């Protein structure tokens, strides 16, 4: 190849190399520009990330404080819950105790109602017995009045009639002594003496009544005498069974026709029975 032919080829090669160099330089410049842009973006992102991290750290601090406050409040709430639980347990215990007391009171009330029903029944029976006794007493008083009328008529008829000798028998004398014969008296004088002897009052030992009701549960009796008979609070009655002294009872409550008396000795409730005699002791 001639020298003239080599020159264009070299120029072409140089141009190609220059073009390639420029292209490479442009590519490199573009790459650098991109790297710079990326670096700037990364720096901005890093800056934003740091700011975000700082914000997150601040928020984390605030969150920690919030958590600490919540933990403190939680401890306070747990303490209050424990206190409320203790109070609730105490209230439950008091409620159970109150329910137990109510149950016992109901049982006592039922027992009292049962006893009251029994007492009311006995009281009604006692009133009926008292009415019967009043009726019997009225009948006896009527018979007594009739007998007194008949006795008066007999006395009137017997006036002026000789009744014979009246012998007054003395107490049994000793064996060595002989009783002296009684003197004869006129019939009228003897009749007057007999009448006077009959009219002499018997020794008063106290007002007498009967036991109508015996309450062994509460240790008292009901006596057939009341305010209309002059019975007062605190009067003492001696109780007799078949004329045998048992003990005393003291009046605690007075009604018009009957009275309630507490037994002085608790053992009396097993000895005294309805119908026994009650005699008021003189003060």
Distance from the Cα of residue 24 to its chain's centroid: 113
CB 253 within 8 A of CB 162: no
Q: In the structure encoding, which two tokens stand for residue 203, read together?
A: 């020794």
pLDDT at 153: 57
pLDDT at 88: 87
pLDDT at 8: 75
Dihedral sign (CA 35, 41, 47, 49): negative
pTM of the full structure? 0.31
Rg (CA), the chain: 65
pLDDT at 160: 41
* Average pLDDT per 10 consecutive residues for the chain, totaling 283 residues: 67 83 84 87 88 91 92 91 89 89 88 85 86 82 66 47 33 38 47 43 64 93 94 95 95 93 93 95 82
pLDDT at 270: 93
pLDDT at 148: 60
Q: What is d(CA 96, CA 94) in angstroms, rounded to the nearest whole number?
A: 5
For 98-131, letters b (16+ CB in 10 Å) and e give eeeeeeeeeeeeeeeeeeeeebeebbeebeebbe
**Distances in whole angstroms, Cα of residue 222 to Cα of each of 119, 135, 215, 266, 283:** 11, 20, 8, 15, 21
């Amino acid at each position: 190849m001639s020298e003239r032919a080599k020159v264009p080829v070299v120029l072409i090669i140089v141009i190609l190399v220059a073009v390639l160099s420029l292209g490479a330089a442009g590519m490199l410049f573009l790459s650098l520009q991109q790297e710079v842009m990326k670096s700037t973006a990364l720096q901005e992102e890093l800056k934003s990330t740091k700011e975000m991290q700082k914000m997150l750290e601040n928020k984390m601090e605030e969150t920690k404080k919030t958590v600490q406050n919540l933990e403190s409040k939680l401890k306070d709430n747990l303490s209050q819950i424990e206190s409320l639980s203790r109070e609730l347990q105490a209230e439950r215990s008091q409620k159970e105790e109150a329910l137990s007391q109510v149950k016992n009171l109901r049982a006592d009330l039922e027992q009292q109602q049962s006893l009251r029903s029994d007492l009311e029944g006995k009281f009604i029976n006692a009133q009926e017995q008292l009415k019967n006794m009043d009726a019997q007493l009225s009948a006896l008083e009527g018979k007594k009045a009739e007998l007194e009328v008949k006795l008066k008529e007999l006395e009137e008829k017997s006036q002026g009639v000789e009744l014979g000798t009246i012998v007054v028998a003395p107490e049994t004398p000793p064996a060595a002594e002989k009783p002296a014969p009684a003197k004869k008296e006129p019939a009228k004088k003897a009749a007057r003496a007999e009448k006077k002897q009959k009219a002499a009052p018997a020794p008063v030992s106290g007002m007498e009544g009967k036991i109508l009701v015996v309450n062994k549960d509460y240790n008292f009796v009901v006596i057939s005498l009341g305010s209309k008979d002059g019975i007062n609070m605190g009067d003492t009655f001696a109780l007799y069974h078949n004329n045998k002294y048992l003990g005393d009872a003291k009046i605690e409550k007075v009604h018009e026709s009957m009275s309630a008396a507490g037994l002085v000795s608790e053992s009396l409730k097993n000895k005294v029975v309805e119908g026994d005699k009650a005699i008021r002791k003189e003060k």
